[in-house]
Structure 1
């Protein structure tokens, strides 16, 4: 479960804290990133935490058969705030495609501790 600490922006309206995906934004250059110690652009360490709206687009998806009884997908999701996160998209792994629009379902899977998304729409080709 993600906890909202003092000094961290609250999750979007109507979103419980355990469903908020927290990311960092560099105070100096404004770059958004996920789970970093330093900014990848300016190497600044003055990062503030913010809560993501949770909407994004699938940039890459793989079907994985290793270390699991059933096939699962591992996807790279580009979120609206401008950062990319690795997570899982619910549903049959073969139905997840590049360009699918997704919404955050939960910030942390109980087993793999990765964000879990659900498809909200078919492919959105505007972000290609």
Structure 2
């Protein structure tokens, strides 16, 4: 990707292509995000930094650990209810994904770990709960 400033074109560090790429040698999936080289803001699937509007973004790999900030149960366009969650990753960016398990069993504040970087049907990241939900052992 190139940024044109006047008559001079220069390469921009990082692009949104390949943001969800498999790890090398088929060892599972990895989640990639961008970080602004000017202000250090972490973001997911952006062309410009939402803070400083910078276009120089470098791609980094997430550790895959996060916290559910919001979760909703959807009943439309699907034969069964499913959840859609906003997950704040440890690196500081927020993304939309699905948490495995009963849709009503996912709550704000739950810790999650990346399970699959790209769901084959919906194309969104899939997470699993890090801690067993209350009542799982009763």
- Give the TM-score taking structure 2 as reference length: 0.77
Bigger-Rg structure (1/2) = 2
1:32 aligns with 2:42: yes
Shift of 1:87: 0.2
1:8: which partner in 2?
A: none
2:7: which partner in 1?
A: none
- Higher-RCO chain (CA-CA 8 Å, sequence separation at least 6): 1
Match among 77, 88, 104 for residue 78 of structure 1: 88
Match among 21, 24, 28 for residue 3 of structure 1: 21
Matches within 5 A, 1:1-128: 2-3=20-21, 16=27, 18-121=28-131
Contact 2:21–2:31, Cα closer than 8 Å, also in 1: no
- Give the TM-score taking structure 1 as reference length: 0.83
Unaligned runs of at least 5 residues, structure 2:
1-17, 134-138
Q: Which runs of 4+ in 1 moved over 4 A?
A: none
In structure 2, C-alpha distance between the alignment counterparts of 1:3 and 1:76, rounded to whole Å:
20
Q: How many residues align?
A: 113
In structure 1, C-alpha distance between the alignment counterparts of 2:53 and 2:60, rounded to whole Å:
19
1:7: which partner in 2?
A: none
